[in-house]
Structure 1
C-alpha cells in the first residue's frame, strides 16, 4: 500500500459571495475543494459588509480540516481576494473596524480635497491610474478613517488589503503587494513607480506595510511550520498569471465574475482622459509591471437582470444556465437598437418578450454590446490576435457566440480553467513548493467561431 503523501499547495480564493479553499497537486489538478458562504453583517452606519470574524474562523477551520487529512502534505499556502478593502489592525494584529464595503457611499469632500491639492481630478486620476470611484479607491478609505475617526487611525499599526490580511493570519507577517496597491487605489504614482506624494503628506504611508513581490514566500507563523506562505494577490491580477505564463503572443483576457475586466498586458500606451472616464486603468502584475485594463460591472448586472426575468416569467435562473444560442431570436432582436449602456436592459419592460428565452437573449445582447465597447478601449488592433474569456461567462453559450461574432477578426476562446484566480496564486509561488516543471496544458481552450 502506498502511503506516500501527495505534495499540495493550499489556495484560499475569497470572493464577495463565495469563499473557497483548493488544494492543487504538483500537476495543478484540484485534489480537494471546500466552499463556504457567510451572511453579510453591517458596519456602524448600517451598511452591509463582510463578516470578518466568520472569514477569519473559516480560514483556520479549513486549514485544520486539511491538515488532518493524511493523504496530503501541504507545502505552501497562498491567498487571493478582492482588493479594494482594507483591514485595519492594531499592534496585536486585531482588526479595529469592520471590513468596509468598497461600494459604501463615500464623502465627496475628502476626495475633492485630495484632487484640489494634487493638480485636479483628471491629472491625479491619470497619474494614479485610478478613475474617481469613491470607496473603490481604497487609499481614500484610509484617509477617511484618519479624518472621521482619528482616535482609531492612531491605533492602526497597519492597513492591510484583504489578501494580505488573510496571508498575515497564517504567516504572522505584515506586508503589501503590488497587485493590491496597483488596483485603482489612488495610492500609486505610475509615472514615478512609487507611492504618490499625497500618501506621504497625509501620514498614510507609515500605516502601509513594506512592499514585497507577489512571488515571494515566508515561513508560517507557528514555529516549525513545514509550509511556506505567499503574500496574497489581488484576484483580478491573479487570474492573469496562468495566461502570462502560458501565452507569449499578444492577447486580451476578459476575466468574468461580478466585474468583467478586460486585460491587455501588451498595451503600454499611457491612459487618455477619455479612457479614464470610461473606467480604464492600469493594474499591476505580480512583478510590478503595468497591465492596461477596462472594467465593467457586468456580472453583477447579469445577476440582477436574470433574477428580474426569472421572477417575471416564473422560472428559476437555473433555466438560463444551459441555454444554447438561438440565432433566429438574435436576428429578430437585433432589428431594434441595442444600447451599449450597461444598465440599458433594466429599463426595458419584460412584457415586450414572448418568453424567458427571448428575454434572456436580449439581456446577453445588451451585455455584449457594453462588453465590446469596454474591450475596444484597450484593444491594440494591430497587435492582439486572441481573446480569452474565463470565469462565469466562459460557460455561457449565448455570450461566447455573440462575442465571437462581434470580434470576428480575432480568435475568441472560452478558457476552461474555472479556477484561474486560485491557479494564478498557486503558480506564482511554483518554485517554492513544486519539484515538477509547470505543465503546458493547464488551460483548456474552446474555440468559438461565429458561424451564424
Structure 2
C-alpha cells in the first residue's frame, strides 16, 4: 500500500485548536478541530489551559502518526500571538499562560515608559503602540517586578508557537514573526532587541532568534521528520500571498479587525501613523510589513444588530444583501459625507452609531449607509500603508471579501488599484506549511492556491 507524503500543521487559535494534513499540492487531506475550556491564572483572571494544550499536541501526534495512508514528512505550528510560556529548569511551565487581555498595572506602565524615553518615542522605535500585556515583552517586565520570586525561576520564555514546537523538538527558539509583532521587544531602528531587553536582563530568558523558514530534525513516535519552529498566525496568513504574487500589493485581512498589510512599504513607521493605529511587524523572512488596524468588523456586527432590531429583521439577512447603485446614489444625495477634522477619531470612533435610523426609509438604505461609513474609515486606514509604495493590487480576504457592498464601494474608493476578493482554505495553516516548503516538498508551488474575484469601479454612481 502506497502512502501519501504530507505535512502536518497544528494551528492554535484563541477559540479553536486545529490539526491539518496538507498534500504536496497543499490541498487539505485531513483535519480535526477541538475547543478547550479556559482556566484561571494565579490572580484569578481567565487564561488558556496550557496543560490541556500540551496533552492535545501529543494526542494529535499520536493520531496522525498512526494513519497508514499518510507519510508525515514534516510538521509546523502556528498560534495566536502576544503570549509567553515560561519554562523552569526542568523544561516545564512554571507560570500560567497569561492572557494578553489581563489588565496591566498602571504604576508599572508609568515606571517602564518613564525609564525608557516615554510612550511615544518608545512606540516609534519598537513599532508597538502602548497595549499593556498585548505587548508580550511587558509580560516579562511585569513578572520581574510583580512576581520576582517566580521570575527568578524562569530558565526560558518562549512565545506560544515556539513552545508548541519545543514540545516536539525539545529545542528552544525565538521566532522573528513573534518577536516583531507589537511586543515592545524589537527595535526596528536598530534591527535588534531594544536596549531595555538587555538592561533589564530579559535577554537571558529569551532563546536564540531564528527565521520562520528554520527547521530541525525531530523524532516522533520513532519516525524521523523535519519540524518548523512555529509562526505567529498573522504573519503566517500573509505567506500564501507573498509566494503567489510578486508585484506589490496590499492585503486587507478582515474579521473583527480589518488590518491593511503592505509588505512592500519599507518606510519607517512615523509618530503620526502610530497615532492612527498603525504598526509594523516582521514577516517570516525578517522583512518589515506596515499594517493599519481598523475595528470595522466589530463595528459592522454591532450596527447590524441595531439596524435589524429597528426594522424588525433577522441579522442574517445582511450577510447576502446585494450592492444597489441606486440606493448609494440616493444616500449620497440625501446625506452629507461626514467631515471629520480629527482623523484619530475617524479611525477610532463609529461614524454610523449616531445616525438616526428613523431617517431611513428601509433597512436596505440603513445598511448601505453603514457600509458607506465603514468604507470612509477603511479608505483612510488603508491609505496610511499605501503611501510611498508602488502598489497596483488590493486583495481582501475574510468576512468582508464576501460582502458585495463593501467590495464595490472599496473598488470605487481606490480607482487607481485593481481590487480583488480573495479566498482560500485555512490561510494561516496553509502559510505555516508553505514557510518550510523547501525542507520537505520537491514539487513546485501550485499556482491555484488563492481564488480571486475582480471588482471593477461601479458605474453611474456619483463620487462624493
Q: What is the TM-score with the length of structure 1 in the denominator?
A: 0.92
Aligned to 2:410: 403
Q: Could you tell me how far apart the structure 2 residues matched to 1:102 and 1:114 are?
A: 18
Aligned to 1:365: 372
**1:231 aligned residue (229, 246, 249):** 229
Aligned to 1:393: 400
SS of equivalent residue, structure 2 residue 85: strand
Counterparts of 1:67-82 in structure 2, within 5 Å, are 67-82=65-80
Counterparts of 1:172-183 in structure 2, within 5 Å, are 172-183=170-181
**1:216 aligned residue (207, 214, 217):** 214
Counterparts of 1:74-93 in structure 2, within 5 Å, are 74-93=72-91
Aligned to 1:434: 441
CA contact (8 A) 1:342 1:370 kept: no
Q: Could you tell me how far apart the structure 1 residues matched to 2:276 and 2:102 are?
A: 21
Aligned to 1:205: 203
**Could you report, residue by residue, the CA deviation over 1:109-161 in whole angstroms, capped at 9, with x for unpaired residues?**
32332322222222211111111122221111110111111111112122111
SS of equivalent residue, structure 1 residue 325: coil
Give 1:354 deviation, angstroms. 5.7
SS of equivalent residue, structure 2 residue 260: strand
Aligned to 1:139: 137
Q: Could you tell me how far apart the structure 1 residues matched to 2:397 and 2:204 are?
A: 38
Residues 129 and 246 of structure 1: CA distance in aligned 2, closer, same or farther (over 3 Å): same
Give 1:349 deviation, angstroms. 6.0
CA contact (8 A) 2:19 2:60 kept: yes
Give 1:289 deviation, angstroms. 1.4
SS of equivalent residue, structure 1 residue 283: strand
Q: Could you tell me how far apart the structure 1 residues matched to 2:85 and 2:354 are?
A: 37
Counterparts of 1:374-389 in structure 2, within 5 Å, are 374-380=381-387, 383-389=390-396
Task: Tell me how large the CA RMSD over aligned residues is.
Answer: 2.4
Q: Could you tell me how far apart the structure 2 residues matched to 1:216 and 1:380 are?
A: 32
More displaced, 435-444 or 91-100? Answer: 91-100
**1:129 aligned residue (124, 127, 130):** 127
Residues 173 and 235 of structure 1: CA distance in aligned 2, closer, same or farther (over 3 Å): same
Aligned to 1:297: 295
Q: Could you tell me how far apart the structure 2 residues matched to 1:61 and 1:303 are?
A: 36
Give 1:350 deviation, angstroms. 5.4
Residues 399 and 231 of structure 1: CA distance in aligned 2, closer, same or farther (over 3 Å): same
CA contact (8 A) 1:391 1:418 kept: no
CA contact (8 A) 1:114 1:198 kept: no
Q: Could you tell me how far apart the structure 2 residues matched to 1:377 and 1:188 are?
A: 22
Residues 12 and 325 of structure 1: CA distance in aligned 2, closer, same or farther (over 3 Å): farther
**2:262 aligned residue (264, 270, 284):** 264
Q: Could you tell me how far apart the structure 2 residues matched to 1:114 and 1:72 are?
A: 51
Residues 196 and 27 of structure 1: CA distance in aligned 2, closer, same or farther (over 3 Å): same
CA contact (8 A) 1:342 1:366 kept: no
Aligned to 1:106: 104
Which blocks of at least 5 consecutive residues in structure 1 are unaligned?
A: none
CA contact (8 A) 2:213 2:435 kept: yes
Aligned to 1:255: 253
Residues 282 and 341 of structure 1: CA distance in aligned 2, closer, same or farther (over 3 Å): closer
CA contact (8 A) 1:108 1:134 kept: no
CA contact (8 A) 1:236 1:261 kept: no
Aligned to 1:31: 29
Q: Could you tell me how far apart the structure 1 residues matched to 2:366 and 2:90 are?
A: 54
Q: Could you tell me how far apart the structure 1 residues matched to 2:372 and 2:139 are?
A: 36
Give 1:421 deviation, angstroms. 1.6
Give 1:254 deviation, angstroms. 1.3
Give 1:185 deviation, angstroms. 0.6
**Could you report, residue by residue, the CA deviation over 1:182-214 in whole angstroms, capped at 9, with x for unpaired residues?**
001110111221111101111111111111111
Q: Could you tell me how far apart the structure 2 residues matched to 1:207 and 1:332 are?
A: 61
SS of equivalent residue, structure 2 residue 289: strand
Q: Could you tell me how far apart the structure 2 residues matched to 1:154 and 1:350 are?
A: 58
Q: Could you tell me how far apart the structure 2 residues matched to 1:391 and 1:379 are?
A: 20
Q: Which structure would you say has the larger Rg? A: 2
SS of equivalent residue, structure 2 residue 120: helix
Residues 355 and 144 of structure 1: CA distance in aligned 2, closer, same or farther (over 3 Å): farther
SS of equivalent residue, structure 2 residue 385: coil
